[in-house]
Amino acid sequence: MKVAVVGATGLVGTKMLQVLAERNFPVTELLPVASERSVGKKVSFKGKDYIVIGMQDAINAKPAVAIFSAGGSTSTEWAPKFAEAGIIVIDNSSAWRMDPSKKLVVPEVNAKVLTKDDLIIANPNCSTIQMVVALQPLHKKYKIKRVVVSTYQSVTGTGKKAVDQLFNERNGKDGEMAYKYRIDLNALPQIDVFTENGYTKEEMKMVNETKKIMGDDTIKVTATTVRIPVMGGHSESVNVEFENDFVLDELKQILSDAPGVIVQDDPSQALYPMPLTAHEKDEVFVGRLRRDETQPNTLNMWIVSDNLRKGAATNAVQIAEYLMQNGLLK
């Protein structure tokens, strides 16, 4: 299995290599790919160094799959060129997510939509991925009417520049700013740019992607996304209104049985999900499960996941695993 990782020198690309190794994806030949300025650098995979190559060289090498994490403009330009060469692209940028001709996939939720004709597959936004993994089993049982979500997102979602800003501020150093404002000891209620309706692009991603992944345009979603000075993962406070009522113990059991979900919910022991404990794990952690006492059929829940893993790298590798296991990747 010849595999290309496009954007191999970046924060998510590095995590892709780590996840491919940890999950023992059957890579017979690795092609680390990056922009021209990174060509010739070395990356490590399973204890061996590999030389970074350029885009066209990667296409010429004809990998079976190319996992992209190189930004929207790069994906817009190069993903079709890989696809034209018969290479399946799993793209982590926002470039193809809402393209009606492209599938937007979270394997635990909707992998079955994939076919042999899908040459460009979109990996969803990190904050959307963890939410739908937790919501899907509940939607099947109780049918979701409306979701109100507030996120508390790690600086790693912005990239290395943001991580550097946080630690520079923490250590009293001057440095390049990823954000307009200080992030340490602060919370920034803006992720991505504002749109005409007053919501940010990140908030609208959660609205639109949730409906597409879950295959239900009737689900109402409203979101507020916030950047906070943490590293381990994204957290979400989610209020879910169902059409049908639920028994809390049964609902917890449904989540406990759901693929990719770990329930951590014991108030007596102060057990609940946190970014610190979700860090470097592939699962979505759910806790603080309690009935909303202000209206019927409504649940409050807290969802945490490592945004670089399940929110990006792991989800992409899981898509590749599904393709391989179902004879769609050769």
Active site positions, annotated: 126, 234
Q: Where are the alpha helices (DSSP H) in the chain?
A: 11-22, 55-60, 72-84, 107-110, 126-142, 160-170, 201-214, 248-257, 275-278, 314-325
Q: CA 296, CA 138: separation in Å to the nearest integer?
A: 16
Q: Where are the alpha helices (DSSP H) in 176-313?
A: 201-214, 248-257, 275-278
218 three-class SS:
coil
Contact between 1 and 18 (Cβ < 8 Å): no
Decide: residue 249, CB within 10 A, 0-12 exposed, 13-18 middle, 19+ buried.
Answer: exposed
Q: In terms of C-beta distances under 8 Å and separation of at least 24 residues, what long-range contacts does 264-268 make, across chains too?
A: 265/289
The C-alpha R_g of the chain, in whole angstroms, comes to: 20
